[in-house]
Amino acid sequence: MSSRCVIDIKQLQYLIALDKTQHFGQAAEICHVTQPTLSMRLRNLERELDVILIKRSSRFEGFTEEGEKILQWAKTMQAAYDGLQAEAANFRQQLFGLVRLGIVPLNNIQPISMLQYLSNLLPEVRFHISSSGSEKIIDEINNNSLDIGICYLDKANNEQHEIYPLEKTALGLLYNKQKFIPTEDVISWETVASLPLALLTQANYFRQSVDLTFQRYNLKPTIMLETESTLHLLEAVNSAFCASVIPLDQGIEKMSDNIDIIPIEDTVVNGSLGLLIRREEPRSVLIETCFNAMCDYLKNRNSSN
């Protein structure tokens, strides 16, 4: 390594982009540089550190063991840099920047409505949402890849995370009004099991809770479609192919005149959802402000229901 190691934030951003895309060309595109420029800057970073970070052939083949460790430092430094910018903006009585959210699918809030509320409060703030399981969301919050999570709290703890617990999730049947006509205001799990269903895949916590309920009633549902995408669930119901089990407060039924939702009896998802951020620094004033505003939004929504 050179006697004077010079690393700039752009090199770290290029490394993080490569991790995100797993492709040199796509990483260059999202960084708004040419691929030769990105490759040159990453080689310069390796020379500065005197460590090989990237496995290369004709294409990207992953990071070396050393590269994986440096990548985690890069993410931490990027989060600190973003926090520094946000802190300086706060001193100027401005708040701007990107807030990265990880949200489990089929939760009991309406994320876009919440972001609209935040955007009205903080018009210079932009948002990025990723959808994955709770364990991955918490891991990425811990290593600064995400800022705020909405997930199940099994793997979270109050020592590492500041947590705002959400209400228990009530379930409903999302159905096509031309395919199914309910005769009651609340339907039974026996009726749900008699219909062709589209559900999330079994790896999903929400789906596991639905499966446990079917087992509790000794029911064997007819599952026509399994998917990781809530959009596919909506398409399946809208086309009258299947019905689906979703949280009552999702608001998905408002997206089409063809569909509606009806409560299912005795419905509580096994597991508590929560909103959480890291307690450990660096934690910018932007993230704290957004987290507190989200908590206020959820409190106001619950009090009005």
Q: Which two tokens stand for residue 171?
A: 């379930």
pLDDT category at 1 given cuts 50, 70, 90 is very low
Report the alpha-carbon distance of residue 265 to residue 91 in Å, rounded.
52
Geometric angle at alpha carbon 251, from 245 and 255, rounded to 5°: 100
- At 174-219, the pLDDT tens digits run 999 988 888 889 999 999 999 999 999 998 888 988 999 999 999 9
| Percent of residues in the chain assigned helix, strand, coil, to nearest 5 | 45, 20, 35
pLDDT category at 304 given cuts 50, 70, 90 is low
Mean pLDDT, range 57-86, rounded to an integer? 84
According to the model, what pLDDT value does residue 2 have?
Answer: 46
According to the model, what pLDDT value does residue 282 have?
Answer: 67
Phi, psi of 296 (to 5 degrees): -65, -40
pTM recorded for the entire structure: 0.66
Report the alpha-carbon distance of residue 255 to residue 273 in Å, rounded.
24
Q: Could you tell me which residue, 141 or 282, shows the higher pLDDT? A: 141
Q: Could you tell me which residue, 118 or 250, shows the higher pLDDT? A: 118
Report the alpha-carbon distance of residue 194 to residue 243 in Å, rounded.
10
Mean pLDDT, range 64-74, rounded to an integer? 90
Whether residue 303 has pLDDT greater than 80? no
According to the model, what pLDDT value does residue 84 have?
Answer: 74
Hey, what amino acid is at 265? E
